[in-house]
Amino acid sequence: MTNKFTWYGHAALGLETGGYHILVDPFLEGNPAASVKPDHVAADFILISHGHGDHVGDAVEIAKRTGAPIISNFEIAAWAETQGVKKTHGQHLGGGFKHPFGYLKLTLALHGSELPDGHNGGNPAGFLLTTNDGKKIYMAQDTGLFGDMKLIGEEGIDLAVLPIGDNFTMGPDDALRAVKLIQPKMVVPIHYNTFDLIKQDAPAWAKRVEAETKTKVKVLKPGESIEF
Ligand code: NI
Ligand code: MN
């Protein structure tokens, strides 16, 4: 079984595993870096890490078009239902659940989570997915550096997806420290170059990571994929 990871730009991610399309933080309309349109993107399940507009994005419309359930923290799942989404699944930090596509655990994230309409978005989260063929993917989404990333790394991470944009999340220096804590086999940088405020030199970051750790860095362009 191959697993395919796609970066759609910013923090919007696609994961194909066991025939399922998992769509994460689908901020596509109004995202200058987006490589797909919300009415074309595939989704069997939609994951939302926190309430900010650049993560909730087009999740509600895509859920309505595809019938895909929205999986998020309890507060965002409940909010999605008030927006007319029929199927949701609420989890919370540290809690895992065996979905058809794998075992998904919500991890800590140091960030905010208010929803675009001012509703309480609960606590922000990252995602730790164990696929049905045993691969582990950690999608940190928006977060600052925290020492418990070491605990996440102890699970044995095949692919880590980390923000490097700075200002709203970890910047390159802290993201390098995160790689040292997590020790993933592979890392993909995200949440940079969407706007001037989060402009970063990803190839330069990749050189530093590969010089100082054993982790392989995959710098993707929006729309590009890797298989693992
Ligand atoms: Ni955010
Ligand atoms: Mn963000």
Q: What is the pLDDT of residues 125-172, one digit of tens each?
A: 999 999 999 999 999 999 999 999 999 999 999 999 999 999 999 999
Residue closest to 93 by CA, chosen among 114, 115, 112, 74 = 74
- The residue ranges of every structural domain in the chain are 4-221
Q: How far away, in angstroms, is 11 Cα from ligand 1 center?
A: 9
- Nearest ligand, CA 115: 1
pLDDT at 159: 98
DSSP tag of 210: H
Rounded alpha-carbon distances, angstroms, from residue 156 to 22, 57, 69, 128: 21, 31, 28, 11
Cβ neighbourhood burial of 148 (10 Å; 0-12, 13-18, 19+): exposed
Contact between residue 77 and residue 71 where contact means Cβ atoms under 8 Å apart: yes
The CATH superfamily label for domain 4-221 reads: Ribonuclease Z/Hydroxyacylglutathione hydrolase-like (3.60.15.10)
Q: Is residue 31 packed enough to be buried (19+ CB in 10 Å), middle (13-18) or exposed (0-12)?
A: buried
State in Å: Cα 85 to ligand 1 middle: 22
Residues, beta carbon < 5 Å, ion ligand 2: 54, 142
**Plot region of 102 (φ>0 → left; ψ -120 to 50 → alpha; else → beta):** left
pLDDT of residue 1: 72
Say how far apart CA 104 and CA 95 lie, in whole Å. Answer: 8
The pTM (predicted TM-score) of the whole model is 0.98
What sign has the CA pseudo-torsion 153, 156, 161, 164? positive
